Amino acid sequence: MKGSAHSAWIEGHTKGRRMKTLEWINAAFELQAVGFGAVVLRGVLRGSLRRRWVIRLLMCSLIASLVGLFPLTSQLTAIQKICMMSVYCSCLAVIPLLKHNLSEVWRPIFIVSTLAVLYLSVVAVLLLLLKHAPLLATTTAMEDSAVHSILWLFDSCFAVVVILAVKRCRS
């Protein structure tokens, strides 16, 4: 009896440690994706987009998404849902990039999906920071509304950037 309780404790402890390791690996690749995404966003807005930065963004985002999906459970966490959306958006960006060589019709789809990958990477990093920051984990109702206001402002700014980028690619 004592041995089984001890082995269950060890199993739970190593599972928690394995989970934290996967979360930190996910965060590292998401931060890299955010960095590459910033370069891609600058290139989109300036009209000097380099294919290698897009590939690096998508690669880091896909690796982070694959790591973020583990361990598979019966109920998906917020990070796992974000990772799944990021994989879908990455696939949407790859089709115009590789198959259609960013032809005029496919360029807005490419820009929106690539910027969505950037957005999802930023949100994933923010969620991981909120989950592991002890000062931010104990928010009151007032601070919670402030966080929602900041996220709403961030979402609005991102929407404006996407609209500007799509208009820029059409001109």
Q: CA Rg, the chain, in Å?
A: 19
Residue in 44, 74, 40 with CA at minimum distance from that of residue 57: 40
- The top-scoring range by mean pLDDT among 3-7, 136-140, 165-169 is 165-169
Question: Which pLDDT tens digit goes with each residue over 42-55?
Answer: 988 888 888 899 99
Supply the pTM of this predicted model: 0.77
For residue 76, what are the CA distances in angstroms to 68, 71, 84, 165? 11, 10, 10, 32
Per domain, the residue ranges of the chain are: 2-170
Measured in residues, the chain has a length of 171
What pLDDT score was predicted for residue 36? Answer: 95
